[in-house]
Amino acid sequence: MTMDDSLARNKALLRILEDMVAASERAEAWVSKDSDLDPESSRLMTDMNKGDRDSIEMIVVWLKGLTVDLPITVSSPNGGRTWNLSIDDAGKANLESSDQDMLSAMAYMLFDGPEPGPDNDMANKLLGQGLPDRLKRDIAGS
């Protein structure tokens, strides 16, 4: 599936997300080959990293399927080491509710945005990727 050439903001976001996936792949290689972690820590780090990458890849699939440009601006104060995501609330209100949920979840997970509400099923799904079952239960109980 390819993205419409006119969706400039989505394309800019896609490049950033693809960089995040590549960084996750490098981190996984480091954990498995170069780190001095004990086997259990290595397994947990690998699982959590894979969960993060799976979440980003789910966001990429969603982004590529959109037919409208998201009401966002992405910027970096430091040449791409970190990214800021600004969302136009009026434009967000015009999105389908599932797209609003995904946008909120992505902003929180990847761009230090505000925490989505407990009714955001997409955030709950994405945030649970790669977490060990015991940690999921501990988080759910808090």
For residue 104, being part of any structural domain is answered with yes
pTM recorded for the entire structure: 0.82
CA distance 113 to 92: 14
DSSP 44: H
pLDDT for 34 equals: 72
Number of structural domains the chain divides into: 1
For residue 44, being part of any structural domain is answered with yes
For residue 3, being part of any structural domain is answered with no
* Residue that wins the pLDDT comparison between 123 and 94: 94
For residue 1, being part of any structural domain is answered with no
Cβ atoms of residues 140 and 127 within 8 Å: no
For residue 41, being part of any structural domain is answered with yes
Q: Give percent helix, percent strand, percent coil of the chain, each to the nearest 5.
A: 65, 5, 30
Mean pLDDT over 70-75 rounds to: 96
pLDDT for 57 equals: 94
Name the pLDDT band for 39 (thresholds 50, 70, 90).
Answer: confident
